[in-house]
Structure 1
Amino acid sequence: MGPPCPRCGRQAPAGGGPFCPFCGRYLAALRWVAEPPPSATPPRQVPPRARYTGPPRYRLLPRWGFPLGPWTPSDPEPERPDPLVGARTILGSLVPLLWATAAVALLAAGAEVWRYVLLLASRDGALRAETVAASDALVASAGTVAPILTVVVGVLMVLWTVRAAQAAGEHAQVRPSRSTRMIVLGWLVPGLNLSVPGSVLAEIEHSAIGLPAERRPRPSRQVLVWWALWAASAVLTAVVLLWSLRTGVQARADGVVLHAVLDLLAAVTAGVTARLVLRLTRLLAPAAPRRREVLLRVGSASTAPEQPKGLSAPTVSTA
């Protein structure tokens, strides 16, 4: 059977020709396709395949790609700095500056003593202008450098105390009894600076040694000596400041003596402070003991029956 007629819908018999035997409709399906002439579109050119020359090479470092380093979350938690590392870092600058302060304070004390000797000598006669000028220059130089070093050392000492107190609390797994604000105020506020710094250093020593947290801290002799020197220096500083308000020749002469004593006390305090902070930092981070084997003697074969015959057993000691 042929295809149905699209006009009448009857099925044309097979072999009946291209026209419907019933209505005469052309039975072939017509589909019009519009195509451009061959001259309208140029032939498609296939680009030749390039020869492989190896992996890509860059003259400069490419800016694309994954960043170097391990994977990190999008919002990482800020890492809390290690207080012990901070204390040891500050110690590297604090100890040399403390010894420098002690040296300058000794120089200032010597300059004040020299000035006092010149004052005593001036009672019997006139002094040479060069000698007086040299003495004044030495006093002025030492009196300018010493306060600057003292301020720098004071700032570093406060920072070291804060870091050392936090490190001692972590070492003993306890919470520090004083906050950072209280430690700073304890160093700066007159009156409080006579008791708070010594108490904080005693607590640092107590925690660094590993004593029980519930036991009351008992400062060592070194801490007590430093505490006494610090309190005496603070009190004598106030006395010297008040004494400078007095007028008169005798008051100025006594002021020279007080300045010399204060400079000498400051030098001793700086030296003791350097040794104390170094000791406390070493208590917080003790160095690993270094052991080495030393050959003491070579024993006979009878002293080591497990050794083969003819061999001796050396005696080794760990030092």
Structure 2
Amino acid sequence: MYQGYEWVATPPPTQRAPEPPRLRLPYLGPPRYRTPPRWGFPALAWRWPTAVVGVAEEAPAAVERVRGRARFAASALWLLAAVAVIAAGAEIWRYVLLLESRTGALSRGVVQWSDSLVTTGSVLSIAAGIISVTTVIWWLHAARDAAAEAAGYTPARPDWHLVPGILVPGVNLVVPGAVLAELEHAILRRPATDRPRPSPLLTTWWLTWSAGGLLFATTLLWRLQDSAQAQADGVLLTAATNLAAAATAVLTIRVVDRLSLLLAPIVPSSVRRLRVVRVETATAPTRAPRPTTASR
């Protein structure tokens, strides 16, 4: 650029002298200590980062909540189905004893056992039913949130409609099926403007649920009669109601499992863990030579 001039680049002056190159010592093996070192990680089992004090906890995703709550709901429903079948058997046994009492006297111990089994079955059925309804509503709330997140639109019914729609007599024959049909519609990513069309499984559940509700109401009204024949018929109606409750519980388990599987297709417990058996390569991997100065 400028003729007759020569440019020389020099580093800027500094007060510190340049450090001499560090001498790299040969590898002498892993470190050795005269006593066990006191530093390092604490002697604790591995834990999630959210368990550490001072770290903000993150709420689990909606899909993860659906998986966990579906397991709780299925367990409660299986308990309800088992207890309902036992209660139905107790009612049938009572009806058999009523038939036998027409021709002769019954043993006092047998009658007491029958009454105890009927009472226990009734109490356990009511308790299991309350637990099952609570867990299913809990699962349904998470499933609606996950479906709304996946479909991109909010459900047509607000959440506060769920409890009255399940508990109010008469209304609970229609609203639960409609809510599940809307949930299935959203899970399948169908347009919000289309009318929900329940699947055959959901339709079967809806009919079984409604039939069980009508049978329960009929049994309560029939029990109000005072005649002996009406009381005997009430025993059979109670047994049929318990069997209907067991069938509804089993179908509810299938519906919950199907909708949960549609929301979360991959179940962690069903994934097969892979294990490395061998590595096939063109050449064997080379290993660095061991220093002669290594202690071991």
TM-score under structure 1 normalisation?
Answer: 0.65
Counterparts in 2 of 1:132-147, with a 5 A limit? 132-147=111-126
Correspondence for 1:171 among 150, 154, 163: 150
The aligned counterpart of 1:274 is: 253
Question: What root-mean-square deviation, in Å, do the aligned CA atoms of Structure 1 and Structure 2 show?
Answer: 2.7
The aligned counterpart of 1:252 is: 231
Counterparts in 2 of 1:1-319, with a 5 A limit? 82-287=61-266
Q: Distance in 2 between matches of 1:273 and 1:99?
A: 10
Residues 1:69 and 1:221: Cα distance change in structure 2 (over 3 Å): same
Residues 1:291 and 1:126: Cα distance change in structure 2 (over 3 Å): closer
Q: Distance in 2 between matches of 1:290 and 1:123?
A: 60
SS of structure 1 residue aligned to 2:157: coil
Q: Distance in 2 between matches of 1:260 and 1:170?
A: 43
Residues 1:178 and 1:80: Cα distance change in structure 2 (over 3 Å): farther
Q: Distance in 1 between matches of 2:82 and 2:111?
A: 23
CA offsets per residue over residues 52-100 of structure 1, 9 Å max, x none?
xxxxx9xxxxxxxxx9767x8xxxxx97764333322221211011011
**How many Å apart are 1:190 and its aligned residue?**
1.8
Gaps of 5+ in 1: 1-56, 58-66, 73-77, 294-319
Q: Which has the larger radius of gyration?
A: 1
Bigger RCO (CA 8 Å, 6+ sep): 2
Residues 1:68 and 1:134: Cα distance change in structure 2 (over 3 Å): closer
Gaps of 5+ in 2: 1-37, 39-51, 275-296
Whose helix fraction is larger, Structure 1's or Structure 2's?
Answer: 2
CA offsets per residue over residues 143-175 of structure 1, 9 Å max, x none?
111100101111111121222112111111111
**How many Å apart are 1:103 and its aligned residue?**
0.7
**How many Å apart are 1:110 and its aligned residue?**
0.7
SS of structure 2 residue aligned to 1:108: helix
Amino acid corresponding to residue 221 of structure 2 in structure 1: L
Q: Distance in 1 between matches of 2:162 and 2:120?
A: 33
Amino acid corresponding to residue 100 of structure 1 in structure 2: L
Residues 1:102 and 1:291: Cα distance change in structure 2 (over 3 Å): closer
CA offsets per residue over residues 164-203 of structure 1, 9 Å max, x none?
1121111111111111111222112222211111011111
- 8 Å contact kept, 2:76–2:135: no
| Paired positions, count | 224
- 8 Å contact kept, 1:108–1:142: yes
**How many Å apart are 1:277 and its aligned residue?**
0.4
TM-score under structure 2 normalisation?
Answer: 0.69
Residues 1:278 and 1:118: Cα distance change in structure 2 (over 3 Å): same
Residues 1:257 and 1:284: Cα distance change in structure 2 (over 3 Å): same
Q: Distance in 2 between matches of 1:232 and 1:247?
A: 25
The aligned counterpart of 1:317 is: none
After the TM superposition, which parts of structure 1 deviate over 4 Å for at least 4 consecutive aligned residues? 67-70, 78-81, 288-293
- 8 Å contact kept, 1:165–1:200: no
Report percent identity of matched pairs: 45
SS of structure 2 residue aligned to 1:183: helix
